[in-house]
Amino acid sequence: MIIGICGGSGSGKTTVAEKLVEALGEGQTVLLAQDSYYKDHRDLPLGERVKVNFDHPESVDFDLLIEHLHALKKNQPIDCPHYDFTHHLRTTAFQRLEPKPIIIVEGILILHDPRLRELFDLKVYVDTAADIRFIRRLRRDVRDRGRTIESVVEQYLNTVRPMHLKFVEPGKELAEIVLPEGGKNPRAIELVVRCVKTRMG
């Protein structure tokens, strides 16, 4: 079973995914993050790499993500790439992931690609207010990714917000389950867990 968890940047997708892994069991689940599948731009100087619009679907290597999902469905292990958000490039490191009965994919753009949507047995949209999402993103990017407050605000206004409205928000209409407040909503997560267990038989 493949579960797609979509939502805006800072909505709590990762928290929801991790809580599902915890509830369903690590031995039963494998987690893939869209963030690992950004295209490599090492051919560009750093000054140009920072200008890449990472909130646009063209920034994501969906072909590789889909290839990896097909491999896991065929009970084959994959080498999941690692993306360095400080230097804006894909590193030479990777994580070997073994196939498991439940595959969880989380990311802001995963419901945009129709090929991915066809692979998902359950589509979940994490719906969190824009101001909360921005605050979470600001804290994360400054703390974990070495960004300045000014650069985070500029990126949010120039790309994150308009791309969210154009490519992410429509995913809400395509999801079977909409989770208000994401990881802060344990009853909703419990509902998703029950749904997964029922479908798994």
Within a domain: 55 = yes
On the question of pLDDT at 201 being above 80, the answer is no
Across the range 4-21, mean pLDDT stands at: 93
Residue 103 within any structural domain of the chain = yes
Mean pLDDT estimate for the chain: 92
- pLDDT band with cut points at 50, 70 and 90 for residue 182: confident
Residue 185 scores a pLDDT above 90:
no
Contact between 18 and 187 (Cβ < 8 Å): no
HSE-CB for 73 with a 13 A CA cutoff: 12
Q: Is residue 167 one of the residues assigned to a domain? A: yes
What is the CATH number for 170?
3.40.50.300
Q: Is residue 200 part of a domain?
A: no
pLDDT at 68 over 90: yes
Residue 201 falls inside a structural domain: no
pLDDT score at 109: 97
7-11, 107-111, 188-192 — most confident range = 107-111
Side by side, which strands form the sheet with 102-106? 29-33, 102-106, 2-7, 122-127, 177-180
* 176 found inside a domain: yes
Q: Which domain holds residue 165?
A: 2-195
Whether the pLDDT of residue 1 is over 90: the answer is yes
Segment 11-39 shows an average pLDDT of 94
**Tokens read off for 13:** 């997708």
Percentage, residues of the chain above pLDDT 90: 72
Q: How far apart are CA 184 and CA 180, in angstroms?
A: 8
CB within 8 Å of 170: residues ≥ 6 apart: 111, 112
132 assigned to some structural domain = yes
Residue 76, domain member (yes or no): yes
Give how many domains the chain has, as a whole number.
1
38 confidence band (pLDDT: 50, 70, 90):
very high
